[in-house]
Structure 1
Amino acid sequence: MGPLLQGQPRLQDPYALGVSERWWVQHFEYLKERGYMMRPRYRPGWKPSYDPKGLYGGRYAEDGQDNIHSAIMDALRISDSLLVAMKRIEISTGEDRIASLFSDDAHNSDSRNHCVRIIEVLPVPGEDGEKILVMLWMRRVMEPRFWTVGEAVQFFKEMIEGLQYMHKNNVAHRDCSINNMAMEADAMYTRPYHPVRPKKRYDWSGRALHHSRTRCPPRYYLIDFGQSRMYDPSQPRPTEYALKSGGYTPPEGSEGIPCDPFATDVFLLGNLIRTSFLDGDTHMHEPGISGFEFLRPLVKDMVADDPSERPSMDEVASRFFDIIDKLPWWTLRVRAVKKNEFPLATPFRAVYHVFWTASMMLLLKPAIPSPKPVH
């Protein structure tokens, strides 16, 4: 089996189908038979609705939007129009085994499990070494932005619980950066959003409007288990070489020293909080968000250079909940302000936030917005 196709330049029409997209077109009928309908762009015989030679080409046309990742495709489940993601994987990675493990009934019923749920695993016709994982379509955690400190605290809570749960089941994620966390945000949206251009509606009829996370809480999930490893609890845990994740390499990875992969997971999670919230992300040119200094001592310990000095995920969870329990409600309802916010906009947004917060309290929305349990 050859490597998954990564696409190629499209010389005449930059919005034409790439190599990896044509793979999905070739499997359109098979996926339709299995109950999944891809967008018009990926149906056999597709003709662009736009003029390829026009000034903007397919930039503003729905069928000009290609898939974000060569191995991932969006589709609607025919039976109920549920938007799903189909991920093409190589069996050799073991991703299907770990993802399916945390999707079985026993794990799925545990509220601490925040690993992405696999709806179905499909074989790939003619390719014994590949499978297609079908799961809910989700979006980036940071978009739309967090409105309050409490909203972000709920995200931290679910990711800490999720990684702790993986470790309790002897699985290390090994790549748990912000890139491998996702948000199921359907409850926030008044109408379905487009998978490639989430600011627009799925049917391309206008802007996709959404509620705040406080009013309609989303769910957060750990995704992408291609680098994850499951260990035998009866045997000494082997050391692993740390991987670069989210643009950052853990200290043990820079030194080329194998170490406990669970300790590396702790670093990656702490580094996520540090770079996406506390200090900003130099790789992504993100400025950081004010209001989270109460987590600084915990994060400092999580990102210690010496892996043996980092707390375990059980310790991280215990300390995190102790910190949150002691926070006053007004700290959690404070506006999460990007550190590069335009100064002239700040007072106007602050006034609006006061009235918005009052409305949320009148609606009895908690400061830490927890989604309803999954049944």
Structure 2
Amino acid sequence: MHNEKVLRGMGYKLGITIGEGSYSKVKLASSQKHNSQVAIKIVDRRKAPLDFVSKFLPRELALLRTVRHANIVHVHEFIEVCNGKLYIVMEAAVTDLLQKIQEVSCIAEDQAKPMFSQIVSAVDYLHENNIVHRDLKCENVLLTIDNQVKITDFGFGRFSAGYPELSNTYCGSAAYAPPEVLLGVPYDPKKYDVWSLGVILYVMVTGCMPFDDTNVSKLPRIQRKALVYPEDSTVSGPCRECIKVLLQFSPSNRPTIKQVLEQSWLQ
């Protein structure tokens, strides 16, 4: 109730919950101030672990205050209140990429290409500004009513120039994480993002995951093998080549985001 009282006083009317974590939830809301529907992420600092409150949350807020790109979710305002709650008011989307894929089973290449290009454009902007996401996955790619991409959830984001500046934090989702992260070795976070893009593209055009992640300890061994496509897959040669390039086992063989933009399938 306290949430509603605080937000109502600021011209927001809370609606349904569209996402929930262990110490945060995302609610839809109507806004008088912005004259539109918004999404409000409510973070409860009192329920969150210390390293999240002291390290990851400040990083996320610092990043969200600096990023401005058409394909990255726009934050309207941050509201801090004395009861430990933080409200992040963002533009709302109608669905996310995972829900979209589940609805249509897989996305046709002629539709996947412009959507994937927008994702790559957003990541190029981030890397150009020495920002890494480290949790790129279909659920974190929001879509507007006209299929415009909005990347969200910078909970594991940080400022990083990439190689030779390496990261050590195991973060993100195993299914989208590259072998070096799963193996627990220091890694180039920009190459982490590139691998995740390869997984996203595979899921978009096939409707299934490229690697079986039921046993995470065996995942790097599986990732080393040649990619397999469903028998009924109609994915074109250039698209398969693009995915293969992104999912190079060795990070040194993986392209930079600038090189991803040059892939023939994206031209």
When normalised by structure 1's length, the TM-score is 0.55
Q: 1:74 to 1:259 in 2, by over 3 A?
A: same
Q: Which amino acid aligns with 2:92?
A: W
Trace 1:92-111 onto structure 2 (pairs within 5 A). Answer: 92=54, 93=57, 94-102=59-67, 107-108=68-69
Aligned to 2:136: 176
How far apart, in 1, do the equivalents of 2:34 and 2:190 lie? 39
The 8 Å contact of residues 241 and 257 in structure 1, kept in 2 or not, is answered as no
Q: Unmatched 5+ residue regions in structure 1?
A: 1-24, 40-64, 186-216, 326-375
How far apart, in 1, do the equivalents of 2:161 and 2:238 lie? 37
In the alignment, structure 1 residue 152 sits paired with structure 2 residue 107: no
In the alignment, structure 1 residue 125 sits paired with structure 2 residue 76: no
The Cα shift of 1:268 comes to 0.7
Q: 1:149 to 1:239 in 2, by over 3 A?
A: same
In the alignment, structure 1 residue 323 sits paired with structure 2 residue 240: no
Query: Relative to structure 2, which stretch is displaced further, 176-185 or 69-78?
Result: 69-78
Q: 1:170 to 1:147 in 2, by over 3 A?
A: closer
The 8 Å contact of residues 30 and 36 in structure 2, kept in 1 or not, is answered as yes
How far apart, in 2, do the equivalents of 1:232 and 1:313 lie? 13
Q: Which amino acid aligns with 2:77?
A: E
In the alignment, structure 1 residue 34 sits paired with structure 2 residue 10: yes
Q: Which amino acid aligns with 1:294?
A: P
Pick one of 239, 242, 254 that aligns with 2:167.
Answer: 239
Pick one of 41, 56, 60 that aligns with 1:87.
Answer: 41
The 8 Å contact of residues 71 and 121 in structure 2, kept in 1 or not, is answered as yes
Q: 1:74 to 1:170 in 2, by over 3 A?
A: same
Aligned to 2:32: 78
TM-superposition CA deviations, 1:99-146 (whole Å, max 9, x none): 1211xxxx35xxxx521110111112332xx52111122221242547
Aligned to 1:294: 238
When normalised by structure 2's length, the TM-score is 0.76
How far apart, in 2, do the equivalents of 1:227 and 1:154 lie? 26
TM-superposition CA deviations, 1:163-211 (whole Å, max 9, x none): 11100000010011112111122xxxxxxxxxxxxxxxxxxxxxxxxxx
1:226 aligned counterpart, secondary structure: coil
TM-superposition CA deviations, 1:50-103 (whole Å, max 9, x none): xxxxxxxxxxxxxxx65531521111103465111111235532212111211x
Q: Which amino acid aligns with 1:305?
A: F
In the alignment, structure 1 residue 261 sits paired with structure 2 residue 189: yes
The 8 Å contact of residues 96 and 133 in structure 1, kept in 2 or not, is answered as no
Question: Aligned Cα RMSD in Å?
Answer: 2.8
Q: 1:310 to 1:175 in 2, by over 3 A?
A: same
The Cα shift of 1:147 comes to 6.5
Q: Which amino acid aligns with 2:177?
A: T
How far apart, in 1, do the equivalents of 2:92 and 2:247 lie? 31
In the alignment, structure 1 residue 68 sits paired with structure 2 residue 24: no
The Cα shift of 1:305 comes to 1.2
More strand by share: 2
Count of matched residue pairs: 230
Q: Unmatched 5+ residue regions in structure 2?
A: 46-52, 215-229
The 8 Å contact of residues 38 and 76 in structure 1, kept in 2 or not, is answered as yes
The 8 Å contact of residues 180 and 223 in structure 1, kept in 2 or not, is answered as yes
1:160 aligned counterpart, secondary structure: helix
How far apart, in 2, do the equivalents of 1:167 and 1:280 lie? 28
How far apart, in 1, do the equivalents of 2:242 and 2:34 lie? 44
How far apart, in 2, do the equivalents of 1:75 and 1:289 lie? 40
The Cα shift of 1:230 comes to 0.6
The 8 Å contact of residues 252 and 259 in structure 1, kept in 2 or not, is answered as yes
Trace 1:218-237 onto structure 2 (pairs within 5 A). Answer: 218-231=147-160, 237=165
Trace 1:303-318 onto structure 2 (pairs within 5 A). Answer: 303-318=247-262
Q: Which amino acid aligns with 2:26?
A: I
Q: Which amino acid aligns with 2:89?
A: V
The 8 Å contact of residues 114 and 162 in structure 1, kept in 2 or not, is answered as yes
Aligned to 2:48: none
The 8 Å contact of residues 72 and 88 in structure 1, kept in 2 or not, is answered as yes
How far apart, in 2, do the equivalents of 1:268 and 1:275 lie? 11
Aligned to 2:91: 136
In the alignment, structure 1 residue 163 sits paired with structure 2 residue 123: yes
Q: Which amino acid aligns with 1:299?
A: I
How far apart, in 2, do the equivalents of 1:162 and 1:67 lie? 23
The 8 Å contact of residues 242 and 252 in structure 1, kept in 2 or not, is answered as no
Give the percent of matched residue pairs that are identical in Structure 1 and Structure 2: 22
Q: Which amino acid aligns with 1:219?
A: Q
